Amino acid sequence: MTQRGYGGPLRYVQGPGVIADLGAYVAPIATSALVVIDAFFWDSLVPSIEKGLAGKGVSSRFVRFGGEATDAEVERCVAEGRASGAGIVIGVGGGKALDTAKIAAFHLDARIATVPTIASTDSPTSSLGVIYTADGVYDHVVRCGRNPDIVLVDSELIIRAPVRFLVSGMGDALSTWYEARSNLESRSNNYIGDGYAATVAGARIARACHDVLMRDGRSALAAARSGRLTPAVENIIEANTLLSGLGFENCGVSAAHGVHDALTALEPTHHFFHGEKVAFGVICLLVLEGRPPEELEEALDFCIDLGLPTTLADLGLKDATEADLASVGELAMKPTNVIHSVPVTLTARSIADSIWTASRLAEERKAGRRC
């Protein structure tokens, strides 16, 4: 019988104001914390987090995140953690700050807590961390051995962030079911431990993520644009963070992220968020796998309505040459790229051609909607 595996965070808590409860969740598992926090929140959150932890008997040392999740940044945080004897590393901020905190905790053999301040990726719940070069180019993934012990999502913080972050998170979450299906059909292993077959629970969660996006995504955007916290917004925060995180880790990713990773080699894409590039990768995935037109149209309309990139021009690649696309195809074919879990035969040319075709189909869809 095929072995199957499932993993996830120990605790997930979401709602307005829950950051005030951080100390109550940390105190039972650690008495000393290293807090890796995005520079933007240094002045506004450090005093309250420090006070909240101290009130529960937890000492803390704070590190201002350097802005890029590099090996050097991880090493700096590890050194701070060793110096303070941290029993837990708490990441506060965006996905790269959280990844840095998770990887630092892995090297310190410390517990992990994540406090996302934006809902733009599914990094907060996963056991994986991504390392980039100093220039922001994807380098490699680090498997941290276990998921965070605590994921605390303060929706009041999330709704204060520019709405582009929430939309980017929906772009990332949009890939969850499509990529889960790739892995289920190709019988690829998931990311639990050394890899197992997906459980029924993992597959259902991935599908639920898609269903929530289609039902609540547009309503959530309308509310979030005015800073309103509605049930739809809370549902989308959960979809972007928990459902997407559990879905991708328990089922796997494929060409949407594989195209994203290869596209990071083209400098113009560095100005776009992870989820924005993944959204374009979703369109490429559907073309690459030859999915039915109605699926492609549903994904395109969703992205267009939300303002997510669907064409090369949308990603600053209007002038991309055949050589550029060929190089992206070659990079995507690297043995370490996640694209290989698609249930179709791949070549560098088929990837490059799918990227071009996805962009052209999106242009035609946009033109048709305008008419």
Cβ atoms of residues 354 and 339 within 8 Å: no
Tell me the DSSP string of 309-338. --STGGGT-TT--HHHHHHHHHHHTSTTSG
Helix (H, G, I), strand (E, B) or coil at 283: helix
Active-site residue, from 38, 149, 172, 261: 172
Helix ranges restricted to H, 187-321 = 200-224, 231-238, 244-251, 255-263, 274-288, 293-306
What's at 78, amino acid-wise?
A: V
> At 318, phi and psi to the nearest 5?
-55, -35
CA gyration radius for the chain?
A: 20
Q: Is 113 left (phi over 0), alpha (psi -120 to 50) or beta?
A: beta
Active-site residue, from 38, 210, 257, 314: 257
210 catalytically annotated: no
Nearest to 354 by CA among 251, 213, 252, 254: 254
Cα distance between residue 114 and residue 49, in whole Å: 13
CB atoms closer than 10 angstroms to residue 109: 9
Active-site residue, from 38, 122, 149, 260: 260
Burial bucket for residue 71 (CB in 10 Å: 0-12, 13-18, 19+): middle
340 catalytically annotated: no
Cβ atoms of residues 167 and 221 within 8 Å: yes
274 catalytically annotated: yes
270 catalytically annotated: no
Active-site residue, from 99, 122, 210, 274: 274
Catalytic residue set: 172, 257, 260, 274
